[in-house]
């Protein structure tokens, strides 16, 4: 039950699209990630996904629209909704997801992370 300084945790890594685990609660995990560039289209069939923007601006493309998220904003993506995150500049994001979630959902790619590193 020690404080976790999120901004200090972000200083511990520099790789993009590779979430790091900072905690677990009630079958959920808190992940931090740095994003830059374009991710892949993917779907999480069984899990909702929460993006909280800590730094920067993240665009999330859906098949029918694009949502832009700025610092301090968040977006819940319901299970089964196909999406593609895009970060034109570096973005720091906190993700809140079930422990069972697959990083790239229904797609296997070179970006897929199977085990999230604890930091």
pLDDT, tens digit, 9 for 90 and up, residues 29-71: 999 999 999 999 999 888 899 999 999 999 999 999 999 999 9
pLDDT at residue 47, rounded to an integer:
87
The answer to whether the CB of 87 falls within 8 A of the CB of 118 is no
To the nearest whole percent, how much of the chain has pLDDT over 90? Answer: 71
Joined together, the tokens standing for residue 81 give: 């909704």
Tens of pLDDT, residue by residue over 72-117, are: 999 999 999 999 999 999 999 999 887 766 655 566 666 666 677 7
Q: Are 93 and 33 in contact (CB under 8 A)?
A: yes
Going from the N-terminus, what domains does the chain have, and what CATH number goes with each? 6-118 (2.60.120.10)
Q: What is the pLDDT of residues 88-98, one digit of tens each?
A: 999 999 998 87
The mean pLDDT value for 2-16 works out to 96
10 Å CB burial of residue 7 (0-12, 13-18, 19+) is: exposed
- Dihedral angle of Cα 60, 65, 70, 73, to the nearest 10 degrees: -90
């Amino acid at each position: 039950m020690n404080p976790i300084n999120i901004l200090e945790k972000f200083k511990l890594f520099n790789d993009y699209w590779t979430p790091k685990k900072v905690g677990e609660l009630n079958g959920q995990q808190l992940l931090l990630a740095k994003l830059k560039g374009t991710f892949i289209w993917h779907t999480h069939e069984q899990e909702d996904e929460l993006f909280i923007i800590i730094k920067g601006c993240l665009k999330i493309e859906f098949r029918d629209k694009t949502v832009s998220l700025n610092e301090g904003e968040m977006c819940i993506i319901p299970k089964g909704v196909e999406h593609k995150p895009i970060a034109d500049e570096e973005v720091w994001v906190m993700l809140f997801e079930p422990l069972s979630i697959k990083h790239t959902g229904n797609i296997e790619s070179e970006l897929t992370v199977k085990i999230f590193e604890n930091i």
